[in-house]
Amino acid sequence: MSSTKPESVINVKTPSATGRETLSITDNRTGRQYEVPIKNETIRALDLRPMKVNTEDFGLMGYDPAFTNTASCSSKITFIDGDKGILRYRGYSIEELAEKSTYIETAYLILYGELPNKSELADWSYNVTHHTFIHESIKKFLDGFHYDAHPMGMLISTVAALSTFYPDAKDIFNPESRRKQTYRLIGKMPTLAAFAYRHSLGMPFAYPDNDLSYCGNFLNMLFRTTELKYRPNPTLERALDILFILHADHEQNCSSTAMRCVGSSHVDPYCATAAATAALYGPLHGGANEAVLRMLVEIGSVNNVPAYIKRVKSGEKLLMGFGHRVYKNYDPRARIVKHIAYEVFDVMGKNPLIEIALECERIALEDDYFVSRRLYPNVDFYTGLIYQSMGFPMTMFPVLFAIPRTSGWIAQWEEMLLDPEQKISRPRQVYLGHELRDYTPLDRRD
């Protein structure tokens, strides 16, 4: 690993006018006053616990369904400024990485914190490449799935199954074991995904070709037929590589939170990755790219866009690919994706659905419903159009998200494991159910 020091580390700190980094709280139930330290613009929820009406009280808690204003960890991996539309991995802007890096290099950066030097990159690529093969028995699991099984279901199941092949993965506090599982997970995810795809077509599996790049090999395993040597189209290979860079991490999103939460029970990383992949599958998260395309097909023509937007505004539908919990500005990834779309269309022909997507975006960016709620296109709005043009069926779209996100999941998992402040994830609840009551025998119930 490179020993270069990061140029800057973000300190979340707004200067205090009084010089006091504390919050004064008066509990009006008791009249008592408390002074709570503020660090990194946060207060510790546990500092609320001493605030009680009487000694039997449990003490005050924060109530934050869906964690909309709760930091569950500190992290040095990914920085997002949702108001300004900024995304950085380890301090590097997403725009610069998309232009100059490769997915495999970016994955190293995300995992180990620094860009690799030449020999580190060569070792890393070699190790990932030499873990692309999967045990032959995995093919038997795949054979058990229906021909029309969703590939995300197959991916979730087969990633979990890897846990049974690598019992050494349970040694999660051994850095060597973690390193090995990292090679395996990043190396094998494309193979599992491609095999799931081939199974759905009833085609023989195409084995990894270690001479090709990470994305080139993935395209080989997906699309190779009778060629002795598969040669990926360089524009499509690079487009996929950039899309993989854009999807590699996104701080504490739903699937990364699932990875940390499940991993906090100290289960092995394959099971935790299966949980994260399951979280990604939902249409409000990584399944949105598939949902966007289904929506564009349903809209059918540019003329139908205003009527569809009307249904969205009445609350009947969501405009899929729009809105984000964190971005209240244009998602910087969506801008890059829109650009790549045209490069792919130059090779594969224009996807006719792009006109419908552009019209949705045009209307939404001017309409008060979307403007007032600060709803902008997110990364998923245009990716489906690219994937479809590249020949992927819609069901593969979330899979194309899961493969690159694996590097982010592992980085988040490892950071959680090594953080002395972390414990098993276990939120509290506000119980609003019955008080203690007597059991009613069956013959006396209404």
User: Residue 65 Cβ, how far from ligand ACO at the closest point, in Å?
Assistant: 10
Active site residue 446: no
Q: Which of 380, 438, 443, 446 is catalytic?
A: 380
User: Residue 288 Cβ, how far from ligand ACO at the closest point, in Å?
Assistant: 3
Amino acid (1-letter code) at residue 129: T
d(CA 112, CA 241): 20
Q: Which of 324, 339, 367, 438 is catalytic?
A: 324
Closest CB to ligand ACO among residues 55, 314: 314
d(CA 147, CA 199): 7
Closest CB to ligand ACO among residues 198, 405: 405
Closest CB to ligand ACO among residues 81, 209: 81
Closest CA to 155 of 279, 296, 289: 279
Closest CB to ligand ACO among residues 286, 332: 286
Residues 6+ apart with CB under 8 A from 410: 111, 181, 182, 185, 186, 269, 273
Phi, psi of 317 (to 5 degrees): -135, 165
Closest CB to ligand ACO among residues 217, 289: 289
User: Residue 326 Cβ, how far from ligand ACO at the closest point, in Å?
Assistant: 8
User: Residue 321 Cβ, how far from ligand ACO at the closest point, in Å?
Assistant: 5
User: Residue 320 Cβ, how far from ligand ACO at the closest point, in Å?
Assistant: 5
- Output the six-digit token pair for 335: 């801008």
d(CA 306, CA 108): 45
Closest CB to ligand ACO among residues 313, 350: 313
Give the dihedral of Cα atoms 5, 10, 11, 15; nearest 10 deg.
Answer: 130
CB 336 within 8 A of CB 383: no
User: Residue 322 Cβ, how far from ligand ACO at the closest point, in Å?
Assistant: 4
Residue 83: how many other CB atoms lie within 10 Å: 11
For 89-213, where are the alpha helices, taking DSSP H only? Answer: 94-100, 103-112, 118-129, 137-143, 151-165, 175-201
Bridge partners of 78, per DSSP, are 89
Amino acid (1-letter code) at residue 432: L
CB 91 within 8 A of CB 109: no
Closest CB to ligand ACO among residues 262, 320: 320
User: Residue 400 Cβ, how far from ligand ACO at the closest point, in Å?
Assistant: 12
Closest CB to ligand ACO among residues 46, 284: 284
| Strand-strand pairing, 86-89 and 78-81 | antiparallel
Rg (CA), the chain: 24
CB 280 within 8 A of CB 405: yes
Binding residues vs ligand ACO (CB under 6 A): 284-286, 288, 312, 318-325, 373, 375, 378-380
d(CA 349, CA 346): 6
Q: Which of 27, 135, 285, 367 is catalytic?
A: 285
Active site residue 380: yes
Active site residue 143: no
User: Residue 378 Cβ, how far from ligand ACO at the closest point, in Å?
Assistant: 4
Residues 6+ apart with CB under 8 A from 426: none
How far from chain centre, in Å, is Cα 287? Answer: 11
Which residues belong to the active site?
285, 324, 380
